[in-house]
Structure 1
C-alpha cells in the first residue's frame, strides 16, 4: 500500500499539469487580493461617473427646455404686441370708418339724429331695427305731390352740393390730424412695448450667454480635472505596469529556479525509486529462506516465552502461598500483641492499686518497702517497653516483606 501511494505521488510529480497548477496557485495568491480591490474601486468609480453623466445630461436638457420656453415666451409676446398693434389699427380704422359714414350721411339728405350702438360680442338675442317716419323738408312736398318747380331747383342743388363739399373738406382736414395723432400714439406705445420686449429679450440672451459661459467654464474645469486625473491614472498605470512586469519577471525567474530545484528533486526521487525497485527485485528463494528462518525463530521464541510463563506462574503461586502464610502469621502476631497489651494494662492497673494501698496503708517505716516496689515496677515497665518495641519491629518487617512481594 505504501509503495502504491509513493508511486502515485511520483507519477503526479512527473506530470506537467502539476507544475502548472502550482505556478498558477502562486500567481493567484500573489495578485488576487489587490486585483479584486482594484476591480471593486473601478466599478464603484465607473458607476459614480455614469450617474454624474446622467445628471449632467438631465441638466443640459432642462436648460435647453428653459431656453426653448424663453424663445416661445418671446414669440408669444411678439405675437401679443402684433395683436395689440392690429387692435390699434382696427380702432383707428373704426374711427375713420365712422367719419366716412358721417361724411356719407352728410352728403345724403339730412336726417334726424341717430345713435349707433356697437356690441363687443355678438348678442344672442334677435335685434329688430325700428323704423321712424322720415322727416320731410317743407319744400320737398311738391316732389311727392308732383308739383315740383323745375326752374329754381338747379341753383339750390348746386349750392347744397358746394356746401356739402366744403363741409367734407373741412371734416377731412379735421379728421386727418386726429387719426394721425392716434396712429402716433399707437406707434409710440408699440415702440415702447417693442423696446421693453427687446430689452427683456436682450437681458434673457445675456443671462443665457452668462449661464452658457459658466457651464462652459465648468465643463472646461471638469475636463481639466479629468485630464489631470487621467494623467495621474496613466502614470499610476504605467508604474503598476512596470511593477507588474518586474514582479512577473522576478516570479518567472523564481519559477524557473524552483523548477530547476523541483527537477533535481524529481531526479533524486526517481533514482531512489529505481533503487527501491532494485531492492524489491530479490529472488523468491531468498525470500522463502528468510521467511522460514524467521518462522523458526518465532517458534523458538514462542517456546521460550511459554517456559518463562510457566515458571512465572509457579513462582506466582508460591509467592501467593507465602503471602497467605505471612498474612496468617501477621494476624496471629497482632492478636498476640493485643493480648499482651491487655495483660500489661491489667498488670499496670494492679500495680497502681498496690501503690495506692502502699501509700495509704504503710506509715513512715514503710518507705523502704515502697521504694523497693517502685524499682520492681520500673523494671517491669522497661521490660514491657522492650517487648513492645520488638513487636513493632517484627510488624514493620512483615509489612516490608509484603510490600516487596
Structure 2
C-alpha cells in the first residue's frame, strides 16, 4: 500500500510536460515560460514594427526628394523652352531688321535714280532754252545819225541768230547722245538696285531656311531626348511597380503562411490538451480513493498552490488579452498597409495613364510641327519662284519703259524745236513791222514834226 502511495506521489510530482512533449501544461512553470515566450514574441513584433516604420520614413524621404528633383527638372525644362522661344523671337526680329534695311536701301536707290532723272531733265531744258554762260545779249549801235534802217538784219544779229540755231542743233545732238547714255545709265542703275535687292532678299530667305532647318534638327534631337527620358522613366516606374507587386505578393504569402502555421499550432495544442485531459482522467479512475486521501493530506498545500495558480491564470488572461489586442492592432496595420498599397497602385496606374496621354500629346505636337516646317519650306520655295517670275516681269517692263521713254523724249524734243521755230518766225514778223514803221517815219518827217 505504501508502495502504491509513493508511486502515486511520484506520478503527481512528475512534470506534465512529459505527457505533452513540452507543448502544453497547466503547471505554473510552463505558464511562466509561455508568458515569457509571448513577451519575447510581442517585443520582437514591436521591434519589427519600429523597423518597418523607420523603413517607411526613409522611403517617404526618398520619395519627397525625388518629387522635389522632378519639380526642379520641370522648372528647368520650362526655362529652357522659354529661352528657346526668346531666341526664336530674336531671330525673327533680326530678319525683320534686315528686311527693313534692304527696303531702305532700295528706296535710297530709287531716290538716287529719280534725282538723276530730274538732273537730266533740267540739263535738257537748259540746253533747249539755250541758256549758257552768256545769258544776256545787248544790242547797241554807234551810228545814231543814220535815219534809214536796212531791210536786212544787221550782221551781229544775223551772227547771233546763226549761233543760236547752231546751239540748238548741237543741243539736240548732245541731248540725243546724253539721252542714250542717260537711259543706259538709268537702266543700269535700276538693274543694279533690283539685283541688289533680290540678292539680299534671296540671301535672307536662304538664311531663314537654314535657321528653320537647324531648328528642325534641334527639335528632332530634343524630341529624341524627351522620348528616351520618358522611356527611362516608364522603365523605372515599371520596375518599381513590379518590385512593389513582388513585395506585396511575398508579404501576403508570409501572412497566409503564418496564419496557417498558427492554426496548425493551435490544432496541435488542442489535441495535446485533450490527450493530457484524457491521461489525467484515466489516472484518476485507476488510482481512485488513494488519490483522494493523498489530496486530503496535502489539502492546505494545494490550496495555496491553487491560489497562486488562480493569480497566475488571471495574469495569463490579462497577457493573452493584451496579446490579442496587439494582434488585432497588427491586423489593422496590415489592412491599412494593404489599403495604402492599393492606393499606391491606383496612383501609379493614374500616373502611367497620364504619362501615356502626355507622350501621345507630345508626339502629335511634334508631328504637327514637322508638318508646319514642311509647309513653311514649300511656302518659301513658292515665294522664291514668284520672286523670280516678278524679276523677269520687271526686266521686261524695264526694257519696254526704256524704249517708250526714248520715244517720248524724241517727240518732246521735236515739239520744242517746232515751238522755237514758231517763235523765231514771230520775231522776224515783228522786226519787219518795226522796219516798215521806221520807213514811214523817214518818208514823212514833216508830219512827225507836226505831231
Whether TM-score is above 0.5 comes out as no
Question: Higher Cα Rg: structure 1 or 2?
Answer: 1
User: Whose RCO is larger (CA < 8 A, sep 6+)?
Assistant: 2
After TM superposition, the score normalised by the length of structure 1 is 0.44
After TM superposition, the score normalised by the length of structure 2 is 0.40
